[in-house]
Amino acid sequence: MELPDTVTTVIETLRESAGIERVYGEPIEHEGRTVVPVARIAYGFGGGFGEGSNGDGEENEDIPVGSGSGGGGGGGVAVAPIGALEITDDHTRFVRVNDRKRLLGGGLIGLVIGWLLRDMRN
């Protein structure tokens, strides 16, 4: 089964845009330092196609015998900053971006566990 031209075009576009230059942004130079932003990028693509009939030989009001076909697809991109490379004459280091959602989630889990343990002691 051959893919339609539009699906092939979308796959090729995603493949071309998934290069290393998308993960590392343009370097920024300031006061003897070069800062390179770093991001996590995830691409996803899926699709399905079908053809045929209901196959039982009986008429169905929704699917007449001898008919059928279909297709569908979708894709997406997710981008999240994770930090930056800081480059100087003396050293290179990775500076992680603080993830407030993760910190808040951990704090809430700690509160719930503390509350449950307190109730168990009483």
Q: Are strands 69-87 and 92-96 parallel, antiparallel or unpaired?
A: antiparallel
* Chain segment 21-62, per-residue pLDDT in tens: 666 778 889 888 999 888 888 877 777 777 776 555 555 566
How many domains would you assign to the chain? 1
* Chain segment 85-110, per-residue pLDDT in tens: 999 999 999 988 876 777 777 888 88
Does residue 105 lie within any of the structural domains?
no
For the ranges 49-53, 58-62, 71-75, 114-118, the lowest mean pLDDT is seen at 58-62
Does residue 84 lie within any of the structural domains?
yes
User: In whole angstroms, what is the distance from residue 80 CA to residue 41 CA?
Assistant: 7
> Quick one: pLDDT at residue 21?
64
Query: How far does CA 59 lie from the centroid of its chain?
Result: 43
> Quick one: pLDDT at residue 39?
84
Closest to 39 in 3D by CA, of 96, 113, 100: 96
Does residue 121 lie within any of the structural domains?
no
Range of the domain at 89: 5-97
Amino acid at 31: E
